[in-house]
Each structure stands twice: as C-alpha cells, then as structure tokens.
C-alpha cells in the first residue's frame, strides 16, 4: 500500500494562499507534523525568484526547522509550485533533491486550477504517494 500523507484543510489552504501570492514565481516551504500527519505549514522564500526553479532561502529554512523543533514536530514534507507545470517532479527537482525520505509536494497549475500531488524522490527517480485531505 502507498504511504499517504494526511493534510488538514487549514494547512492545504495555507499552502495554496502562499503559492498564489508568489505567482509567477515558484513558491516553496516546509511541512511539519508527526509521522505522516501534517500539522504546520511554513512558507520559505524562493531565493531564486524564478518561475521554473526554487531554492529555499537558507536562513529562513533554518528558522523554520528551529520552529518545528520547538513545537516538537518533524519535517514531514517539502512543497513547491510549478506555476506552468508539469504536475510531476522536474529533472532539476530530481537531480537536486536533498531530503531523502521526505515527501515532496508539487502544486501545478492546470486548465482546471491548481493540482496538488505528492512524491518520494530517491536515487534519481520518483514515485507518487497518496494524499488525504482532511
């Protein structure tokens, strides 16, 4: 059975608001929680300010990780957006992925609006995982 990440509606909307605010640039951030249950969304500035790639601003990322630690939560996801697609991890996402074992969530913009999908990226490849919106 596929592992499934559980996302409360408030967290879903927090991410959506952030990625919409960053259009046309890619937006990014981290998720914290326990196991596969997401409890917190922390947006992080995309240092690249690019529509086709992202790099989380290192100091902000550090502060975000400190926040998780003080809340006794683990990082259990990384999200970013593809304002012009694709819905799946890009070659760069796969090549530059630094967080083995942490789910990657991709928001992509399609004809019918934003689509959210989740993946595990590992050893130059990826596999889709489940998402359950609470």
Residue in 36, 21, 2 with CA at minimum distance from that of residue 83:
21
- Shortest gap between Cβ of 82 and Zn ion (angstroms)? 5
Residue in 83, 87, 71, 88 with CA at minimum distance from that of residue 31:
71
Distance, CA of 90 to CA of 82 (rounded, Å): 9
- Shortest gap between Cβ of 88 and Zn ion (angstroms)? 9
Structure-token pair, residue 81: 């957006």
90 binds Zn ion (CB under 5 A): yes
93 binds Zn ion (CB under 5 A): yes
**DSSP-based three-state secondary structure for 60:** helix
Pick the catalytic residue from 25, 26, 96, 134: 26
Nearest CB to Zn ion, comparing residues 32 and 97: 97
- Shortest gap between Cβ of 54 and Zn ion (angstroms)? 7
Contacts with Zn ion, residue ranges (CB under 5 A) = 90, 93
Q: Give me the active site residues, please.
A: 26
């Amino acid at each position: 059975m596929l592992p499934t990440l559980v996302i409360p509606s408030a967290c879903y909307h927090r991410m959506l608001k952030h990625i919409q605010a960053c259009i046309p640039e890619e937006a990014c951030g981290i998720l914290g929680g326990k196991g596969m249950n997401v409890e917190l969304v922390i947006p992080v500035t995309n240092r690249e300010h690019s529509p086709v790639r992202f790099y989380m601003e290192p100091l902000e990322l550090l502060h975000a990780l400190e926040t998780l630690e003080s809340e006794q939560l683990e990082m259990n996801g990384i999200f970013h957006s593809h304002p012009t697609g694709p819905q799946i991890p890009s070659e760069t996402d796969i090549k530059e992925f630094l967080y083995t074992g942490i789910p990657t969530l991709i928001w992509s913009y399609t004809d019918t609006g934003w689509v959210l999908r989740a993946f595990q990226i590992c050893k130059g490849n990826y596999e889709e995982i489940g998402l359950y919106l609470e």
